[in-house]
């Protein structure tokens, strides 16, 4: 029964189909006239924004290639660019979808509620993984360490060989590779940031003249500072503050050498070699070696320490 009292069964089938088609036609015309231009505009805007994000991230990588030595920070820049690209694309597509759904007559409320419940379940099941990615993102963003740096992370010291948003790979002095989840990176100790310092403790006999030893150590510092093979690695003049400790018949002199990152080991080895040579030439007596006295103990005697 229709509103005007006409029985639906009395209306011919062709008339009913014609009326239905007319209603559909009016709906389609209204949809094409009012909603489709809005949908096209939203899609076009999303495509433009995604292209802008991709251009910006490619520009980051290109800037890295032009201005920074290849291989030093490539992994960080590429990872950061990929993260920005993926997050930006996801956000743009999400906003565009939420704008289009009402135009199609769909209510985005239930969709958002379902997504929120699913995200909550995933969050409870993968908290550590999410924390890995968040910490890794901030490590890259804040440039806390780079590939090639020597760092101490989670109680492990080594050279950074690889890093992603989820993990960092360190190789220690004996060649062992340590894989550290970024969620475990609480304190970063970077030993190769900007410059490194070598603190040498040179022990000589207590009887040696202080001015003589300081003069010899300064001479070694000047020689290595102006050596063509090591001059590029040393950033400042070598410092010899003086005696650091006196004990056990010996005096301990402190020598400070600032070097470029990762060059402190080669410089310190060469410094020790030259100190040994100049001490031998000037008859400088080295610090007394540790001595252990052993005394035979009989049943009638008590142990004595010397």
Q: In angstroms, rounded to a whole number, what is the distance separating the alpha carbons of residues 96 and 181?
A: 35
The phi and psi torsions of 304 (rounded to 5 degrees) equal -125, 145
Please indicate, yes or no, if residue 9 is contained in any of the structural domains. Answer: no
Note whether 140 and 80 are within 8 A (CB): yes
- Distance between CA atoms of residues 252 and 271, nearest Å: 16
Under 8 Å between Cβ of 288 and 249: yes
Q: Is 275 within the bounds of a domain?
A: yes
Helix (H, G, I), strand (E, B) or coil at 284: coil
98 assigned to some structural domain: yes
Instruction: Count the Cβ atoms, other than its own, within 10 Å of residue 196.
Output: 22
Let me know whether 148 and 98 are in one domain.
no
Same domain (yes/no): 121, 18: yes
Q: State the virtual CA torsion across 203, 209, 212, 217 in degrees, nearest 10.
A: 10
Same domain, 25 and 117: yes
If one counts the domains in the chain, the total is 3
Answer yes or no: is 306 within a domain: no
Per 3-state DSSP, the chain is made up of helix, strand and coil in percentages (nearest 5) of 55, 20, 30
Evaluate whether residue 5 is within a structural domain.
Answer: no
Contact 262, 151 (CB under 8 A): no
Tens of pLDDT along the chain (306 residues)? 444 555 555 556 676 666 666 666 666 777 677 778 888 888 999 999 999 988 888 877 666 555 554 444 555 676 677 677 777 888 898 888 888 888 777 776 676 666 666 666 566 656 777 788 888 888 877 888 877 888 999 889 998 888 877 889 999 988 899 999 998 998 999 887 788 888 999 999 988 999 999 999 999 999 999 999 998 889 888 999 999 989 878 899 999 999 988 788 889 999 999 999 999 999 998 876 544 444 454 455 454 444
- Please check whether residue 162 lies inside any domain of the structure: yes
200, 186: one domain: no
Same domain, yes or no, for 149 and 227?
no
**Structural domain of residue 170, as residue ranges?**
144-190
Question: Domain check: are 121 and 21 in the same one?
Answer: yes
* Same structural domain, 182 and 216: no
User: End-to-end distance of the chain based on CA atoms, in angstroms?
Assistant: 119
Residue 8 domain flag? no
Question: Is 91 in the same domain as 25?
Answer: yes
Backbone angles phi, psi at 238, to 5 degrees: -70, 135
Q: Is residue 26 part of a domain?
A: yes
Query: Hey, what are 265's tokens?
Result: 């080991």
| 185 & 206 share domain | no
- Do 18 and 115 share a domain, yes or no? yes
Residue 136: per-residue pLDDT: 84
Residues 6+ away with beta carbon under 8 Å from 218: 238, 240
pLDDT value of position 293: 42
| pTM > 0.85 | no
CATH number at 203 reads 3.30.70.100
Distance CA 213, CA 248 (A): 18
Same domain, 50 and 18: yes
CATH number at residue 69: 1.10.287
Residue 201 shares a structural domain with residue 176: no
d(CA 170, CA 23): 69
Q: In what order do the strands lie in the sheet with 167-171?
A: 177-181, 167-171, 156-163, 150-153, 188-190
* Residues 240, 198: Cα–Cα separation, whole Å: 12
């Amino acid at each position: 029964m229709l509103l005007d009292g006409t029985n639906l069964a009395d209306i011919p089938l062709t008339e009913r189909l014609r009326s239905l088609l007319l209603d559909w036609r009016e709906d389609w015309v209204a949809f094409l006239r009012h909603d489709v231009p809005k949908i096209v505009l939203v899609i076009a805007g999303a495509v433009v924004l995604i292209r802008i994000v991709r251009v910006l991230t490619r520009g980051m990588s290109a800037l890295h290639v032009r201005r920074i030595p290849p291989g030093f920070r490539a992994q960080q820049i590429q990872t950061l660019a990929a993260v920005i690209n993926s997050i930006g694309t996801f956000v743009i597509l999400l906003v565009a979808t939420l704008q289009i759904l009402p135009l199609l007559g769909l209510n985005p409320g239930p969709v958002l509620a379902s997504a929120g419940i699913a995200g909550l379940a995933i969050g409870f099941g993968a908290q550590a993984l999410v924390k890995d990615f968040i910490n890794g993102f901030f490590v890259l963003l804040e440039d806390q360490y780079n590939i090639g740096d020597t760092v101490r992370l989670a109680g492990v010291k080594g050279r950074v060989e690889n890093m992603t948003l989820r993990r960092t790979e360190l190789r220690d002095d004996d060649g062992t590779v340590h894989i550290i989840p970024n969620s475990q990176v609480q304190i970063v100790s970077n030993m190769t940031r900007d410059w490194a310092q070598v603190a040498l403790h040179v022990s000589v006999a207590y009887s040696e003249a202080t001015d003589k030893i300081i003069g010899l150590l300064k001479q070694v510092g000047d020689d290595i500072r102006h050596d063509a093979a090591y001059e590029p690695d040393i950033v400042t003049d070598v410092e010899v503050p003086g005696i650091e400790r006196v004990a056990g018949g010996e005096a301990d002199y402190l020598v400070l050498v600032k070097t470029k990152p990762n060059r402190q080991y080669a410089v310190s080895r060469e410094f020790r070699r030259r100190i040994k040579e100049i001490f031998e030439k000037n008859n400088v007596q080295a610090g007394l070696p540790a001595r252990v006295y052993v005394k035979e103990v009989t049943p009638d005697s008590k142990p004595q320490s010397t």
